[in-house]
Amino acid sequence: MQIRITLLPGDGIGPEVVQAAVKVMQAAAEKFNIRIQLTEKLIGGASFEKFGTPLTDETLQACFDADAVILGAVGGYQWEALPHHQKPEAALLKLRKELQLFANIRPAKVYSAFAGASSLKADVLSGTDFVVLRELTGGIYFGEPRGYDKTKGWNTMTYQRHEIERIARKAFEIARQRSRKVTSVDKANVLEVSQFWRDVVAEVAEQYPGVELNNMYVDNAAMQIVRDPKQFDVILTSNLFGDILSDIAGMITGSLGMLPSASLGEKYALYEPVHGSAPDIAGQNKANPIATIASVAMMFGYSFQMTKAGQLIEQAIERTLEQGYRTVDIYQEGNKLVGTTEMTAKIVENFEAIFHEEGLGVFTL
Ligand code: IPM
Ligand code: MG
């Protein structure tokens, strides 16, 4: 099998963590006997500096031509004052829209080694394992009309029936592979668009009798994630609410630097760490590569049906953490402090070791 991956390292620590992902992909390619063709392009501030735009047609085309895209991070202080369409973030939004990546999956899973690092009590947290499924190409992020003038600013939250149906189906399908529970989060007590969302989700639910559906208002959901995160399995929500809830979900795990994400459409897929570009530690070999490496694990599972490769990468991450290796963001006394490249090398080493322990030999797909 041959797969084509487009790499978009982006800004800040993006290049370092994407480099880590490449190392892990290469190790997996060798063991699982596949060929990976890599193409690298600029995005975000890096692209703006060179071409005056955060996303060129060339970069976009390279994404259309790939089987999957891996993105590092975009953004930095120096580009914050630019007009909206030139900001690094605009590249990400355009990419999502152009590739029609309507489903954003952000797992909130607590690694046992980290229960102590969260702002929540370990007993509230332990066993937490849910995903936020965020609608990514609609809602108030893209609704028209939008704008501002001297006297007012305005945005529009709209959802078409088909947009809700497809993300709801995805939620129920994911839930079927997990604990069979979907919590749809909205603001139906105030917003008409949310009432419509709620009605359409209920209709879709009828086609998935094995999955339980609950509805929750977004303010309550924010509270419940902090109060009792174990109650959730799949949180299904719209673009803006998902943006906010996925940050809360990420934070309670105690390890934002460890959270991967997948953005999926019918045809294309993009994988990226949940964390940002962390310009303050860029280029210092300090960044935690785990979120991006875990995104590669998601890629093997979702894009290439290589579930085994994905699982082995996850196991390698867990073993490396159990061995006490930590980058500075997750370091606690008694741990072994390592940089980005050492952490990556340990994960690759463990990946190869687990592969051989399992007696997999050379795996041919
Ligand atoms: C995210 C980010 C983006 C978003 C920004 C950078 C545009 O916060 O991926 O959650 O709001 O979607
Ligand atoms: Mg966000």
Q: What is the percent of the chain where pLDDT is above 90?
A: 87
The whole-number pLDDT of residue 363 equals 55
Decide: 232 and 212 in contact? Cβ < 8 Å.
no
253 has a pLDDT exceeding 90? no
- 260, part of any domain: no
121 and 223 within one domain? yes
Token pair for 41: 């392009």
Taking the CA of 261 as reference, the closest ligand is 1
Residues 154 and 220 in one domain: yes
Q: Which of 206, 228, 254 is the last residue before a domain boundary?
A: 254
pLDDT at 112: 74
Q: How far apart are the C-alpha atoms of 73 and 131, rounded to whole Å?
A: 21
274 has a pLDDT exceeding 80: yes
Ligand 2 centroid vs 248 CA: distance in angstroms? 10
Res. 342 pLDDT band, cuts 50 70 90: very high
The catalytic position among 11, 31, 111, 141 is 141
The yes-or-no answer on residue 181 being catalytic is: no
DSSP 363: -
CA separation for the pair 175, 131 (Å, rounded): 9
Distance (Å) from CA 245 to ligand 2 centroid: 9
Structural domain for 247, as ranges: 108-254
In a domain, 259, yes or no: no
How much is the average pLDDT of 84-106? 95
Out of 188, 222, 254, pick the residue that ends a domain.
Answer: 254
Task: For residue 279, count other CB atoms closer than 10 A to its CB.
Answer: 16
pLDDT of residue 101: 98
Which ligand sits closest to the CA of 273? 1
> What pTM, to 2 d.p., does this model score?
0.93
Q: Which residue has the tokens 């006997």?
A: 33
In the block, tokens 């997948």 appear at 262
Tell me, what DSSP letter sits at residue 127?
T
d(CA 226, CA 252): 7
3-state secondary structure of 181: strand
Is 247 part of the annotated catalytic residue set? yes
CB 176 within 8 A of CB 141: no
Rounded CA gap, 87 and 315, in Å? 37
Longest dimension (CA), the chain: 68
Instruction: Tell me the pLDDT band of 162, cut-offs 50, 70 and 90.
Output: very high
Residue indicated by tokens 């609609």: 138
What pLDDT score does 109 carry?
86
Helices 307-322 and 14-31 pack at an angle, to 10 degrees, of 120
* pLDDT at position 182 over 70: yes
| For residue 255, pLDDT beyond 80 | no
Instruction: Tell me the pLDDT tens digit for each residue of 96-105.
Output: 999 999 999 9
Query: Cα of 32 to ligand 1 centre, how many Å?
Result: 33
Cβ–ligand 1 contact at 243 (below 6 Å)? yes
**pLDDT for 113:** 74
The better pLDDT of the pair 1, 188 is held by 188
Strand-strand pairing, 269-273 and 260-264: antiparallel
Mean predicted confidence (pLDDT) in 81-87: 93
Which of 93, 102, 238, 271 maximizes ligand 1 atoms within 8 Å of its Cβ, making it the mutation to test the pocket? Answer: 93
Which of 207, 231, 254 is the C-terminal boundary of a domain? 254
Is there a catalytic annotation at residue 187? yes
Same domain, 232 and 275: no
Give mean pLDDT, residues 108-127: 82
The ligand 1 atom nearest the CA atom of 75: 6
Average of per-residue pLDDT values in the chain: 95
Q: How would you label 8-19 residue by residue, b for 16+ Cβ within 10 Å and e otherwise?
A: bbbbbbbbbbbb
Same domain flag for 79 and 200 = no
pLDDT tops 60 at residue 315: yes
- In the block, tokens 């994630």 appear at 225
If asked whether residues 149 and 286 sit together in one domain, one would say no
Share of the chain above pLDDT 70, in %: 98
Interatomic CA distance for residues 32 and 362, integer angstroms: 6
Please identify which residue in the block is written with the tokens 């994988």: 271
Task: Say if residue 87 is in the same domain as residue 178.
Answer: no
- Mean pLDDT for the stretch of residues 89-118: 89
* One domain for residues 98 and 114: no
CB 220 within 8 A of CB 117: no
Question: So what's the pLDDT on residue 140?
Answer: 98
Confirm whether 123 is a catalytic residue. Answer: no
Tally of structural domains, the chain: 2
85/93 Cα distance (integer angstroms): 10
Distance CA(162)–CA(77), nearest Å, equals 38
Confidence of residue 364 (pLDDT cuts 50, 70, 90): low
Question: Does the pLDDT of residue 365 top 70, yes or no?
Answer: no
Among 30-39, 110-119, 262-271, the range scoring the smallest mean pLDDT is: 110-119
> Per the domain annotation, does 57 fall within a domain?
yes
Which range is least confidently modeled, 63-77, 120-134, 174-188, 232-246? 120-134
Rg (CA), the chain: 20
Residue 208 annotated to the active site? no
pLDDT at 35 over 90: yes
Co-location of 157 and 195 in the same domain: yes
